[in-house]
A = this chain, B = another copy of it.
């Protein structure tokens, strides 16, 4: 990827609502040229979308945890991600190498809610869980060095 594109991606990763006018000023191009490049970056799948960042604290979900999940019946078809997809507390689901099958990242309101969620996860996906509670988050969602 070219330097100008890199710069555009960097700027938009930092402020997803930045106007084409400002992007143009920042890159020394015309607005139409910037616009064109952004469109291409979207088409090529470099930029996959734009999102408002929501504070989980502010919406009453101050407790984050990682839950490692292991199927209890290794013979059964493993469709844990789909079985868990409906639980909105689950922000991410990664299939991983190692002792366990999946790592989930979850956000809940309280330890009690976490307890409930764990019970639902175990029941829905027939898994064993191992939970690591997050105490604080020095940083998160840092955009990659493009």
List A residues at the B interface (Cβ < 8 Å).
Answer: 1, 9, 12-17, 44-59, 61, 64, 66, 81-82, 85, 88-98, 103, 107, 132-146
Contact = CB atoms under 8 A, between A and B. Distances in A.
A22 to B, nearest CB: 13
Nearest to A85: B139
Number of copies: 2
A47 to B, nearest CB: 5
Contact of A50 (B52, B96, B107): B52
B141 A91 contact: yes
A134 B101 CA distance: 10
Select the residue from A59, A85, A89 with max chain B CB neighbours within 10 A.
A59
Contacts of A1: 59
Contact of A12 (B52, B97, B137, B145): B52
Given A9-B52, A50-B50, A92 B15 contact: no
Contact of A103 (B45, B82, B132): B132
A49 to B, nearest CB: 5
